[in-house]
Structures are given as C-alpha cells and as structure tokens.
Amino acid sequence: MKRRDCLKHRRDVFDLTLMLRAPCNYQCYYCCARGVPKNRFTRLTRESIAQYLALIDSFDAPLKIMRVNSYGEPSLLPGIWDLLGALATRGFVMLATNLSFPLEKIMQALPAASTWLLLTSLHPETEEHLGEFLRKCQLLVSSGYPVAVHTMVDDTKLAHTEQQVEYMRRVGLDCFVSPVQGRDGDRRFPYDLGEDTKLYLQERIDELHPQLLLRHRNLAFTGLRCGAGYSRFVVRDSCICPCMNSDRLLGWLDGEFRPFSEPMPCAAFHAESQCLPDEFLVRSRCYCMGDHRLPVGRGALAVDIERFAELKDAVVNPSLERLRQMRLNDWNDQLAGLGRTAIDVAPFGLSIWPYLELLKRHAKVETVLLDREERPALDGIHQASFKAYRENRNPRQLLVLSTVHAAEQARAFVQSLPDSGLAPLCCFDLPASPPEWNARHA
C-alpha cells in the first residue's frame, strides 16, 4: 500500500528524525561523518523535501516534532533553509548544528515559536572562537530560541570543562555534559576514556544515557516497550526505520511504508546512539531524541540506573537471547527456500564472510559481488565486481543482503540490473553480522 492511498495514521505525538548526510567545516576526531564520500551527501531537492513532507502529513497528531540531525553540519547542505521553513509550518523543529552560520539565516527560515530546540555542541574548533559562539547562543536565547549546549568531555578537555559549564550556566545558557562518543583509531569512546574523566562524568553528569554507556558496554533495551516505529521514526536516505539503532526497515519515502500499530518491545541488538525506551523518557533525558527541558538531577538518576540494572537482568538479556534465536530461525527458513541451488550473493553494508558460513548450508555460493575489481576465487567462490556483474548478468538466482544503513545503495543496484527473468531475492534489514555469529562472539 503506497502512502498516498492510506488514511492518516492517528497518534498523540509524531516524532521524526531526519538523518541527513552533510559536509562539515570542522574536523572533529570523533565525528561519525568523517570519510562520508561527497556522492553520499543528501540532496535536498524540491522532490526530496516533498517526500519528507508527505510522510509528515500522513500522520494526524496534535504535536509533531521534526528533528533535523546529520552526519556533518546540516546548514552546509543546499536547500536546508527551504526544508526548515517547510517543517516549521507543520510543527516544532529541532536542529542539531555547530552554529557556524550567520544567525539571520535561521531567524528567517525558522521562527523561534516553531523551534523545539537548537542543539549545539562545544567541539574542539568551537573553542577556538568560544567568545563568538557564546555570543551567538545568547543572542538566540534572547530572541526566544530554546538552545542547549552539549559539552563533550574527553581526557584533554577535562581540566577546563568545569569552568566552561559554570560560565554558561552563569550567563543563563542551558548546557549539559556528556562523554565523547565515537572512535579514534583503536580507542572507542566513552569506554576508553581515562579513569579521571570517567570519574568526573559519573560524579557530575545529569544525563542518563551517557551514564548507561559508561556502565553497560553492550547497552541494549531489547524487550522494553518503545514508541519507535509507532510514533517515532528515523529517515536515512529514503529508508524509514523505527530508530537510529534499529535494524528494521518499515518502508521507503517513495514506496510502501508500514508503521507499527502500537508501541512494540524494542528489537534492537544495541542502543549506543541517542535513544532511550519510553519507560525511561518520562524521568530522564538523552543526548538527541530526549526532551532537554525535563528537570533532571543526580538523585533521580540513581533510581533510573538501579531500575535499568533490574530490567537488564529480568527483561533485556533474556529478550536478546530470544531475539537472536528468532532471527536465526527466520533466516534459516528463508534460506531453506533456496533448495541447495547455485546462487550469487551481493552484500551491502555487511561483512559477507560470517554470512557465508550460514549460506553454504542451504545453497552453493558461486559468486560474491564486491565493490571493487575482480579478484581471484577464494575458498572456491568467485569474486566479481558489481559493474562486471551488471554488464554480464548470468541466469543464476541473485541474493541481495543489506543492512538498513546500506539499503538505499542495495535498492539502487537492484534497480540498475538488466532483466534476467529471475527477480533477485532481497533482504534489506539484516544485522551487520548474523545472529549466530553474534551469539558465538558475544
């Protein structure tokens, strides 16, 4: 069923995160956008903006929150101010930005009354012109914009974070502290922060989510009920997913879309980016998708940490196990349909080698397609490039395996193939490694 044929979905709240891919004028070492090739930047055309708006308009909700987030700095994307202006006519807008643009731009596109939050961060390069940054924040606040400054702490910033936070609070700026998240070479943050930094954060931080990251390395909320996929959604490229951590694909901006009919137990294997299930959101907040205006404090936090520890044993861990087993069974059922025939496999966004172990039980894998030139056969399996396959498609069954993160590229590849009379079998929402592999290496 295409969205244009549907009746509106009724919800009390509709909360949408648009994850854009943008260039950036900063070079933060922890940034998840580093290395995004130019051809993957989001193109905000009249058509793509119309698709976002059609999704928003297909929901009937008294409160709509649209969060514009990005890998990179969204204000550098051509078309961003048109998008923000259109969103502002439909509800409240949250924008995550480094605020490096002239403020008139935002004041013209996005009125303060339609702004849910301007979420900005104290990046290393922001500190080089801290005075100007703080003046901008104060001007926005005095013009009625809700602003929150996310102060990220790593080992090098530990010494001066306290002064910065104190100063911002003194001049009336809402700010919150959280650990740097991301990678730097072999180091994974926040886990590999120094002990002093961890101690500082654990003693002072008022945010639940980064606290949990420090305490629970493999954070997951599996099995806890959540509105993601029912009233909260994330759009990446043209894929519509429940949340940033979910492997599920609910549909496409330009095609079918099936939201959940009620809040569902969380089915994500991990929860390392910007989420908390609804059970926690009432009392606490998180970096990106939470409500930064909720009052929080260390006293309230202690109760939540305890509650989470209880739920982890009683609900999350057993649910994780069940989910792994279920996914493995589904996967085996799907593959059993291959009937031990010869197949070619095209992987997107996942490492094919652990998947091959499972595939070989159900089919004879002749060729694996790779995003590079032809390679010699490995373990009896021929390796061909996507380009060569497209130009010389054989009549064997093609199996397309993709994570939701790469689903857009996988779909574009399938659409570019010449007709061979045999439609490819596509799985667009697989985990980056198969459940069996995860279980063995947990």
Footprint of ligand SF4 on this chain (CB under 6 A)? 221, 224, 226, 228, 242-243, 245-246, 266, 268, 271, 275, 277
CB of 235 closer than 8 Å to CB of 253: yes
Nearer to ligand SF4, 120 or 245 (CB): 245
Nearer to ligand SF4, 157 or 248 (CB): 248
CA distance 176 to 145: 17
Name, in order, each residue with C-beta under 8 angstroms of 9's C-beta and a sequence gap of 6 or more: 58, 59, 60, 259
Nearer to ligand SF4, 190 or 347 (CB): 190
Total Cβ atoms within 10 A of residue 144? 10
CB of 80 closer than 8 Å to CB of 100: no
Q: How far is CA 119 from CA 68, 150, 157, 417, in A?
A: 10, 7, 20, 42
Min separation Cβ 273 and ligand SF4, Å: 8
Min separation Cβ 25 and ligand SF4, Å: 30
Min separation Cβ 442 and ligand SF4, Å: 18
Min separation Cβ 213 and ligand SF4, Å: 13
What letter would DSSP give residue 276? Answer: -
Min separation Cβ 278 and ligand SF4, Å: 8
Nearer to ligand SF4, 110 or 243 (CB): 243
Min separation Cβ 319 and ligand SF4, Å: 11
Nearer to ligand SF4, 91 or 223 (CB): 223
Q: How far is CA 39 from the centre of its chain?
A: 19
CB of 426 closer than 8 Å to CB of 318: no
DSSP-assigned beta bridge partners for residue 87? none
Min separation Cβ 382 and ligand SF4, Å: 38
At residue 121, the 3 state secondary structure works out as strand
DSSP-assigned beta bridge partners for residue 343? 365, 397
Nearer to ligand SF4, 208 or 243 (CB): 243
Nearer to ligand SF4, 273 or 402 (CB): 273
Is omega for the bond preceding 190 within 30 degrees of 0, making it cis? yes
CA distance 12 to 64: 9
CA distance 249 to 404: 6
